[in-house]
């Protein structure tokens, strides 16, 4: 969470809990939030647009926007496919979703009650969905994600229709997570092998 000494959890019980941690870190107390998911909660993201909010996404194809000050769901986005992961973007009003779709695995959505930006869907042709155990990352105007074929793909979110840059990382080995770290990409394969790839946004 953005607030100190707070964190949120969600899981197979369909419930999102907000936890308050004691100042001496000795314990934490949970409070269930009135967010109604009908399937497992798969991703949580703390954001701040006009106020502090918590975005929760589930296998039920619902993305709920919870306002912490008013303690209520202020908007719900309905997606066609289950959402695996949520990421921040440069706009505080938009989030990037990784979804269970074979060819359009990613969506950038405006989560305001009256959206000002259209939904952007993009991805690449694949014979299988990613599954929730592949996770990408955003940084500045970029989004990177691994794949089952050992390739990392890199998109410029200002033009998601353009072909992504492709980085061969681990031949025939699934890349389960990609993380931006300044001018580097850190990748992890399904066997736990870590690889750091030098990356320069200006020269890609």
Paired tokens of 80: 């066609």
- pLDDT (mean) for 46-52: 96
**pLDDT given at position 202:** 40
pTM higher than 0.75: yes
**C-beta neighbour count of 80 within 10 angstroms:** 11
Beta-sheet strand order (sheet of 6-10): 6-10, 16-21, 28-32
CATH architecture for residues 133-204 = Beta Barrel (2.40)
135 compared with 167, residue with greater pLDDT? 135
Q: What does the mean pLDDT of the chain come to?
A: 93
Using alpha carbons, select from 197, 166, 202 the residue that is nearest to residue 181: 197
Give dist(CA 89, CA 147) in Å, integer.
21
Question: For residue 123, which of 103, 142, 100, 98 has the smallest C-alpha distance?
Answer: 103
pLDDT band at residue 200, thresholds of 50, 70 and 90? Answer: low
Average pLDDT (109-136) is: 93
- Give the mean pLDDT of 5-13: 96
Domain boundaries, the chain: 1-130, 133-204
CATH topology of domain 1-130: Methylamine Dehydrogenase; Chain H (2.130.10)
Grade residue 15 by pLDDT with cuts at 50, 70 and 90: very high
Q: Do 26 and 71 form a contact (C-beta atoms < 8 A)?
A: no
């Amino acid at each position: 969470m953005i607030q100190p000494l707070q964190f949120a959890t969600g899981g197979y019980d369909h419930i999102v809990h907000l936890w308050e941690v004691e100042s001496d870190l000795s314990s934490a107390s949970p409070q269930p939030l009135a967010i109604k998911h009908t399937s497992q909660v798969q991703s949580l993201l703390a954001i701040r647009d006009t106020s502090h909010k918590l975005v929760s996404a589930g296998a039920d194809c619902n993305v709920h926007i919870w306002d912490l000050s008013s303690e209520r769901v202020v908007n719900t986005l309905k997606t066609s496919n289950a959402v695996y992961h949520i990421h921040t973007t440069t706009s505080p009003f938009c989030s990037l979703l990784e979804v269970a779709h074979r060819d359009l695995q990613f969506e950038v959505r405006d989560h305001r009650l009256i959206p000002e930006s259209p939904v952007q869907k993009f991805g690449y042709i694949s014979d299988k969905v990613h599954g929730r155990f592949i996770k990408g990352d955003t940084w500045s105007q970029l989004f990177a994600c691994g794949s089952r074929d050992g390739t990392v793909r890199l998109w410029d979110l200002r033009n998601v229709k353009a072909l992504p840059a492709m980085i061969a990382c681990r031949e025939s080995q699934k890349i389960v997570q990609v993380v931006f770290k300044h001018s580097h990409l850190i990748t992890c394969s399904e066997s736990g092998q870590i690889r750091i790839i030098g990356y320069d946004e200006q020269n890609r």
